Amino acid sequence: MVGIINAVPPENLDEYKNVFVFIELRNGQLSRPGLEMIGAGMNIARKANEKLIGVMIGDDISKLAEEAGAYGCDIVLGAEGKELKEFKTMPYSYIIGEFIQEFKPNILLIPATRNGRDLASRVAVRSKAGVTADCTELDIDMNGRILLAKRPTYGESTLAEILCKKHRPQMATARPGIFKIPDREEGRKFQKDIRKMKVPAEMMGKEIIEFIPKKSLDLTAAKIVVSGGLGLSKPQGFQILDELANQLGGVVGASRPTVDLGWIERDHQVGQTGQSVRPDLYIAAGISGKIQHIMGMKLSKNVISINTDPNAEINQYSDYIINDDLYKAIPALTEEIKKRKEAKKAD
């Protein structure tokens, strides 16, 4: 493979400085998980008294770099080119590898999105570094040198703190929906370094002629999420959740087994291996409330559970409990909301 980075001898560790964050783009815009990385990295960089360096790859990214600067990066380091417009693991990991060799960051954070996970593992192999995946807490030790990467383990029952003492950069992926997006400060001073970089032809892979984005579902930004679990008992059950979500102006979420069974697409999955949501209202219909699901919705402001089992674990996390068959409760709720909307219109 082209340009493997040599393992870093321990005596060189002190050369490694500053915090790199990968700012993922989605449909040509800064993505929410990308902005969350700025938040996570900023806290560490400030404590370590080092620079926060946002890394961005895409086409025509100068304006986006300005945005990243306004959100708090001290330096925005970018590679741009038409052939880099869409995410591709090999060229993106090559470019980040080149940046790592040149800038020697002590830390590199990447969002644990589908593309981010793919990228992080590839960059880690190129850098001969490790990567702590899917972190929910990130901090730095008192000396400002060692990344304290925490991630749930043993079925989310405990938090493991993972340290990488001998290799650089110290890499982690961070779970989307957990870290705060910093406030935007118009006109903030920062440096911009956007380059045209030559990626070896053998790493470019197939040419993308046209990228047709799927209608994107951003569960993490939703104010209302109506989620369904195995209690739906059949894929068609999601239709009644869709109707309720439409009436409420919300989106549909799902537990993992319903996704694994192919009842609904993976974008809808809430939980440890899905997305973390923090809506004003989370409705859990036919979901038992196993810890892996709770991890993805416990930051919801209000939770309504609909479950035939009065002792379902989800009830412990719920503000309102409807102990009934969801096939009765959901259509009744949808009807009631419709009626109230019509009555309001008639007033």
Ligand X SMILES: Cc1cc2nc3c(=O)[nH]c(=O)nc-3n(C[C@H](O)[C@H](O)[C@H](O)COP(=O)(O)OP(=O)(O)OC[C@H]3O[C@@H](n4cnc5c(N)ncnc54)[C@H](O)[C@@H]3O)c2cc1C
Binding site for ligand X (CB under 6 A): 155, 229-231, 255-258, 269, 271-274, 286-288, 290, 292-293, 296, 306-309, 312, 325-327
Alpha-carbon torsion angle 151, 153, 158, 163, nearest 10:
-50
Answer yes or no: are the C-beta atoms of 19 and 105 closer than 8 Å: yes
Question: At its nearest, how many Å lie between ligand X and the CB of residue 340?
Answer: 24
Question: At its nearest, how many Å lie between ligand X and the CB of residue 242?
Answer: 17
Neighbours of 216 (CB within 10 A): 9
Closer residue to ligand X in complex, CB, 130/257: 257
- The gap from C-alpha 16 to its chain's centroid, in whole angstroms, comes to 26
- Assigned token pair, 285: 């219909």
Phi/psi for 148 (5° steps) reads -100, 95
Question: At its nearest, how many Å lie between ligand X and the CB of residue 322?
Answer: 9
Closer residue to ligand X in complex, CB, 177/274: 274
Closer residue to ligand X in complex, CB, 78/286: 286
Question: At its nearest, how many Å lie between ligand X and the CB of residue 188?
Answer: 36
Question: At its nearest, how many Å lie between ligand X and the CB of residue 229?
Answer: 2
Answer yes or no: are the C-beta atoms of 169 and 146 closer than 8 Å: no
Question: At its nearest, how many Å lie between ligand X and the CB of residue 327?
Answer: 6
Three-state DSSP state, 73: coil
Closer residue to ligand X in complex, CB, 220/258: 258
**Which whole-number Å values give the CA distances from 198 to 60, 78, 83, in the listed order?**
16, 13, 10
Kindly report the length of the chain: 347
Closer residue to ligand X in complex, CB, 43/308: 308
Question: At its nearest, how many Å lie between ligand X and the CB of residue 288?
Answer: 3
Closer residue to ligand X in complex, CB, 2/332: 332
Question: At its nearest, how many Å lie between ligand X and the CB of residue 149?
Answer: 18
For residue 77, the cross-strand partners are 55, 193
Question: What gap in Å lies between CA 308 and CA 326, rounded to an integer?
Answer: 8
Closer residue to ligand X in complex, CB, 247/288: 288
Question: What gap in Å lies between CA 227 and CA 304, rounded to an integer?
Answer: 10
Three-state DSSP state, 6: coil
List the one residue out of 32, 29, 77 whose CA is nearest residue 52: 77
Question: At its nearest, how many Å lie between ligand X and the CB of residue 275?
Answer: 8
> Which residue matches tokens 């104010």?
223
Closer residue to ligand X in complex, CB, 64/312: 312
Question: What gap in Å lies between CA 212 and CA 36, rounded to an integer?
Answer: 25
Question: What gap in Å lies between CA 293 and CA 327, rounded to an integer?
Answer: 21
Question: What gap in Å lies between CA 49 and CA 131, rounded to an integer?
Answer: 23
Closer residue to ligand X in complex, CB, 213/310: 310
